[in-house]
């Protein structure tokens, strides 16, 4: 059974200058979110449910949703920082298949998603 491991608050703060907070719309203390401003009218909203091992990533620009990714059976949610590039990595899967989604949030948004059978 998957168990979601999330980067600690210091990792988020060091990479993005932000810390996760309780997602207000769910009203559930186990659902956390992080809103990363990319430009004046662009943001990436990452939310995760610690009890359901799920992650949602929404990229919004000018009030419109550009991408909305939802992954279940997530095993890892972390943040990476190299030079000016900041990425959020989501790994997921169960026996027989695995996946990885890399969301570059800064300096611009780029999303790469791979799912592989084993």
Q: What's the pLDDT score for residue 114?
A: 95
Which DSSP state fits 73?
S
Q: Output the CA torsion sign for 107, 114, 68, 93.
A: negative
What is the percent of the chain where pLDDT is above 90?
82
Q: What's the pLDDT score for residue 2?
A: 62
Q: What's the pLDDT score for residue 59?
A: 97
CA separation for the pair 17, 39 (Å, rounded): 15
Q: What's the pLDDT score for residue 29?
A: 74
Q: What's the pLDDT score for residue 105?
A: 96
Residue 1 predicted with pLDDT over 90: no
Reported in sequence order, the residue ranges of the chain that DSSP labels E, i.e. its strands, are 5-6, 21-22, 31-39, 42-49, 54-61, 64-71, 74-82, 85-94, 97-106, 110-117
Q: What's the pLDDT score for residue 89?
A: 98
In the chain, the largest separation of any two C-alpha atoms, in whole Å, equals: 42
Q: What's the pLDDT score for residue 24?
A: 77
Q: What's the pLDDT score for residue 75?
A: 96
pLDDT band at 42 (very low <50, low <70, confident <90, very high): very high
């Amino acid at each position: 059974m998957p168990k979601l491991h999330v980067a600690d608050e210091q990792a988020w703060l060091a990479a993005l200058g932000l810390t996760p907070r309780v997602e207000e719309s769910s009203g559930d203390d186990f659902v956390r979110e992080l809103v990363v401003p990319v430009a004046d009218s662009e943001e990436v909203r990452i939310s995760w449910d610690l009890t359901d091992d799920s992650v949602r990533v929404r990229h919004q620009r000018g009030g419109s949703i550009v991408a909305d990714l939802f992954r279940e059976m997530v095993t890892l949610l972390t943040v990476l920082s190299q030079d000016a590039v900041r990425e959020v990595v989501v790994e997921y899967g169960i026996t027989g298949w695995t996946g990885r989604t890399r969301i570059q949030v800064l300096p611009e948004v780029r999303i790469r998603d791979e799912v592989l059978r084993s």
